[in-house]
């Protein structure tokens, strides 16, 4: 199975969150953790981001916000 790695600009574009919001949510365990791509590079699995977005959509609709 091939995995697609998203770098931060793509994650920001997909989620609409700022860089600081992403890292704060990661710290609070409410956003997928990044994976190390090297000494100074990280990325996120596209599947993890899509699953997180789906959970947000379901939760929002179940609360009647959408």
pLDDT digit string (tens) for 13-41?
999 999 999 999 999 999 999 999 999 99
Q: What is the model's pLDDT at position 16?
A: 97
Euclidean distance between CA atoms 19 and 58, whole angstroms: 24
Count how many domains the chain has: 1
How much is the pTM? Answer: 0.88
DSSP designation for 28: T
Euclidean distance between CA atoms 17 and 8, whole angstroms: 10
pLDDT digit string (tens) for 44-57?
999 999 999 999 99
The helices-and-strands tally (H runs, E runs) of the chain is: 3, 3
Its domain, for residue 40, covers 5-62
Q: What is the model's pLDDT at position 65?
A: 54
Written as six digits, the tokens of 66 are: 């959408």
- Using CA atoms, how far residue 27 sits from 15, 16, 45, in Å, is 17, 18, 17
């Amino acid at each position: 199975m091939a995995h697609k790695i998203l770098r931060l600009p793509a994650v920001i574009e997909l989620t609409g969150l700022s860089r600081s919001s992403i890292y704060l949510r990661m710290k609070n365990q409410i956003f997928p953790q990044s994976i190390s791509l090297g000494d100074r590079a990280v990325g996120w699995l596209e599947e993890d981001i899509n699953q997180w977005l789906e959970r947000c959509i379901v939760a929002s609709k179940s609360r009647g916000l959408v």
